[in-house]
Amino acid sequence: MDEDQIILELKKQGIDLVSSVPCDRAKGLFFKLPGTFRHIGLTREEDGVGISAGAYLAGARPAIALQSSGLGNMLNAILSLTVTFGLPLPILASWRGCEGEKIRAQIPFNRPLPGILSAAGIACTEISGPDAPHEIGDAIAEAYTNHAPRVILIRPECLTETGCSTLSPAPATRPFSVCYERNWRTPVMTRFDAIRAIAGGVRDEVLVANIGIPSKELYAARDRPENFYMLGSYTQASAIGLGIATVLPDKQVLVIDGDGSLLGSAILPVIAAEGPKNLTIACLDNGVFGSTGNQPRPGLETADLALMALGAGFAHTWTVHEPWELEAALAAKTSDGPSFIHVRIRPGNSDVPNIPLSPEQIRDRFMAALV
């Protein structure tokens, strides 16, 4: 089968957003995806898990396309986000490491991949041959029927390249000038202070809270159906926000993320490249891994997250230290994003209880609120 047959099966199943990291064994498919679907290009495969989760919560039917080796980067995000919240996620994977694989590094993970997926409880469909594109459509349908991830493995011999791929022209150069002066001061807010300031000022914005204690603090500060509380999935908060903002461009989306989480992710340049005008990232930077015992994180005194966001291409950035500065930055954010607020705070966790909602309850009331 060729890329047109695969795309036809995706369309038959109503797929309307695809995120991808390309594979050279299916070049034609990866060249065609951006012109055929609403598409988000990735540099790390697990970011597609968060993007797809946010897109589905906002009413879309997402899928991911990648090389099968990328599944190794995705397993924790799939299990702690997709599986935990009961979200559908079809993953179309060009299967490397099969018989005849010339790159030895592709073999150790990819050859036993069906067994690895089975051990993780992730359903898998192995496409039986080049004349069975309908198996792709059936697998996508099962992912959505079962509200679960499903990996679709396509062997190289099942794919026919049509020679339709072409190189994209080099982007036009554009002038860029920046004058940046860092003025860090001693933070005065705790994370709970910052979250209360954020929660107290929202109206109809969608809030996505980072994993662990930040979600519990948001629930304690101001619970509302428009809040999506993450229970796991390190590094996925801003990816979820991007998925929501892409599908609902008229809805303001505010992500409460953390410094460790963002430094462990590759999502900032992806967000900037997509340019969602309705997305704001509030990075609460306490310099530690707050939900795991407040251990200092790497780059405590050197990594400047506002400068990283600026370098990634964010339209607007602020660095704030006090409640009034945070409130001013939130008020200043416009519909011309994406925007990034670097909120420097003191380490420390508040003594708040666990969220008394199941993942399904969080999911269902959030989706109902967005509708």
The pTM score is: 0.96
Domain boundaries, the chain: 3-158, 191-370
Q: Which of the following CATH numbers is that of domain 191-370: 3.40.50.970, 3.40.50.1100, 2.60.40.730, 3.30.930.10?
A: 3.40.50.970
Q: Report the pLDDT value the prediction gives residue 160, as an integer from 0 to 100.
A: 87
Share of the chain above pLDDT 70, in %: 96
Q: How far apart are CA 60 and CA 87, in angstroms?
A: 12
Report pLDDT digits (tens) over 242-275.
999 999 999 999 999 999 999 999 999 999 999 9
- Identify the CATH assignment for 3-158 out of 3.10.20.30, 3.20.20.450, 1.20.970.10, 3.40.50.970: 3.40.50.970
pLDDT of residue 163: 60
What does the DSSP assignment read for 86-99? T--EEEEEE--SST
List C-alpha distances in Å: 260 to 123, 236, 292, 350: 31, 12, 11, 18
CA dihedral 171, 173, 175, 181 (to 10 degrees): 60
SS3 65: strand
pLDDT in the model for residue 88: 98
Distance between start and end Cα atoms, the chain: 38
Determine the pLDDT at residue 241. Answer: 98
Whether 191-370 and 3-158 are alike in CATH topology: the answer is yes
pLDDT tens digits, residue range 17-33?
Answer: 999 999 989 999 999 99
Cα–Cα distance between 53 and 89 in angstroms, integer? Answer: 8
Closest alpha carbon to 229 in 267, 258, 255: 255
Looking at residue 180, what is its pLDDT? 87
pLDDT of residue 205: 95
Per-residue pLDDT 10s for the chain (371 aa) are 999 999 999 999 999 999 999 998 999 999 999 999 999 999 999 999 999 999 999 999 999 999 999 999 999 999 999 999 999 999 999 999 998 899 999 999 999 999 999 999 999 999 988 999 999 999 999 999 999 999 999 999 998 877 665 556 667 676 777 888 899 999 999 999 999 999 999 999 999 999 989 999 999 999 999 999 999 899 999 999 999 999 999 999 999 999 999 999 999 999 999 999 999 999 999 988 888 888 989 988 889 999 999 999 998 999 999 999 999 999 987 668 899 999 999 999 999 999 999 999 999 999 999 98
